[in-house]
Structure 1
Amino acid sequence: MELHFECTDLSVWKETLSTYKSRMESLNKPNLISLDEFYSHELPFLLHQRNPNPFITTSELSRLMQWKLTRGKWRPRLLDFVSSLDDSSVKSASQKAFHSLPDTSKAISELTVLKGVGPATASAVLAAYAPETAPFMSDEAMVAALGNSKDYSLKQYLLFTEKLQIKSKELSAKGDSFTPSDVERALWSSAVGVKLESSQKVSDNKIKGSNKRKRKH
């Protein structure tokens, strides 16, 4: 079942969010499960261990980029750019960004000085540290919330963040805490589910068509 952004039923959102891991598994992408484990659990723990001056390292940023590209569109040049960044530059930029929160505009701007880091990658860094403030700018969630995913500008990210923050507050008011990052994951999971269902229908129809042709012969 497709989850629409306008949906106000917390149970529907929670149910869709609960399919997140199985949707990832069904994509059959190499290393995606272990990369998501790193991004969703290990990295947030590492970042918060470094309080009061949290930062991300180049190798962690490189793994985060692998996660982003594996879960979305594979663009190897971005990984090359990020992997060759100087560790001290990454540390300095990320410290400034984390200290800027909850000002997401300033935080994104601090990170996008790094080569290969645009607003979408910067949003993934912020979401790992502060999922209650900054959601990851995935194509699937952008399409659901804004109607398209063609514009990766800071202005578009701020619009996207505002919509997901409002939705998370609306859902959290009904009982359980539901962060903007939970909203993003649920929307991603729903979109992937719809794609998988439609490709399954296409392959089923092909099989039916081929069986009909065989029976005619």
Structure 2
Amino acid sequence: MVQSTLLCENISADQFGLLLNEYGDLVEAISGTKPTKEGQRTLSELDKFRYETAVELFSSEEPQRAMQHDDVRSLVEWKLRHGKFRPTLMKLVASNDEDTVAHTLAGAMSTYWKAPDASKALDAIAKLKGIGPATASLLLSVHDPDRVIFFSDEAFYWLCNDAKPCPIKYNAKEYRDLNASALKLVKRLEVSATNVEKVAYVLMRKKHNDVVAPRQETPLLVSENGGSLSGGGGDKRKLQNEGDEITPPQPRRSKRGKT
């Protein structure tokens, strides 16, 4: 259990800072448990791209350059290694045409910077194949890390469910609730949304590791009572409604592969 003083509505600036300082070491430790193939980047290397390189390149109304398909694939690879592994997601994202990716992202960000509205931007980005609200929030967050949080499981548990596991549908409404909660904490502690995301990750991975321990080949799935879900028929139907943790998307319902 996460102690009450560390819940999002109670956490102090000092506690927040201490937990944020643990993030780097935690990622290094998790990275060491995830073997990589030859030529594949480690989680630590992907983490540097996600939080440093990508932010430096894109976090401005006038970015150093526009985000391209290779950047999207790198961020999705980070998402898969940093959180839940979804075997079909990268294939879907990679199937997008490069020009379509560039055009869609450029249009979404042009509209966003004129009138920042995360929900509208996510809707525009999610027109790409394999991109649902969670992945769209990741792409948006590197453009505006101060005000936009990535829709991670850890952030949702901490900010929207008192640091307790719960089924997640990965839909637009859940993201609006998550981002609203994150912005309250951003305002209260005068921190960035990205750092809220990191602190949530530390809390849920270290302080509550019976719920979200580091994952490797198989994602950890939790039921409403905190137990792991089996592969039985009833649970399988539940999983299909929570982001397709196991079942690949069907041809006529490709949106199931989006997160």
What is the TM-score with the length of structure 2 in the denominator?
0.70
Deviation at residue 54 of structure 1 after TM alignment: 5.7
CA distance in structure 2 between the aligned counterparts of 1:48 and 1:73, rounded to whole angstroms: 25
In structure 2, the partner of 1:90 is 101
Distance of aligned partners of 1:141 and 1:89 in 2 relative to their CA distance in 1, 3 Å threshold: same
Identity %: 29
Q: Is 2:146 aligned against 1:143? A: no
Q: Deviation per CA, 1:155-188, whole angstroms, max 9, x where unpaired? A: 110111011001110011xxxxx11121111011
Partners of 2:186 and 2:192 within 8 A in 1: yes
Going from structure 1 to structure 2, the CA distance change for 1:117 and 1:197 (only over 3 Å counts) comes to closer
Aligned to 1:32: 43
Instruction: Say yes or no: does 1:118 pair with 2:132.
Output: yes
Per the alignment, residue 249 of structure 2 pairs with: none
TM-score computed with the length of structure 1 as normaliser? 0.82
1:161 equivalent in structure 2:
179
Counterpart among 7, 11, 15 of residue 10 in structure 2: 7
Matches within 5 A, 1:137-216: 137-147=151-161, 148-172=166-190, 178-196=191-209
Q: Deviations over 1:74-129 (max 9, x none)?
A: 11211011122111111111112222332111100110000000000000001111
The CA deviation at 1:52 is 6.1
* Counterpart residue number, 2:122: 108
Shift of 1:42: 0.9
* SS state at 1:129 partner: coil
Shift of residue 48 of structure 1? 4.6
CA RMSD for the aligned pairs? 2.1
Structure 1 position 15, deviation (Å): 0.6
Structure 1 counterpart of 2:75: 64
The alignment of Structure 1 onto Structure 2 pairs a total of residues equal to 194
- The letter for the 1-side match of 2:88 is R
Q: In proportion to residue count, which structure has more helix?
A: 1
* Consecutive unaligned residues in structure 2, runs of 5 or more: 36-41, 214-259
CA distance in 1, matches of 2:160, 2:65: 31
Provide the C-alpha distance between the structure 2 equivalents of 1:26 and 1:125, rounded to a whole number of angstroms: 25
The answer to whether the Cα contact below 8 Å between 2:55 and 2:145 also exists between their aligned partners in 1 is: no
**Are 1:127 and 2:141 counterparts?**
yes
Check the 8 A contact 1:96/1:107 in 2, yes or no. no
My pick for the range that moved more, 14-23 or 41-50, is 41-50
Contact 1:140–1:149 under 8 Å retained in 2: no
| Alignment CA distance shift 1:49-1:131 (3 Å) | closer
Q: Alpha-carbon deviations, 1:176-217, whole Å to 9, x = none?
A: xx1112111101111111244897xxxxxxxxxxxxxxxxxx
Larger Rg: 1
Q: Is the 8 A contact 1:141 1:187 kept in 2?
A: yes
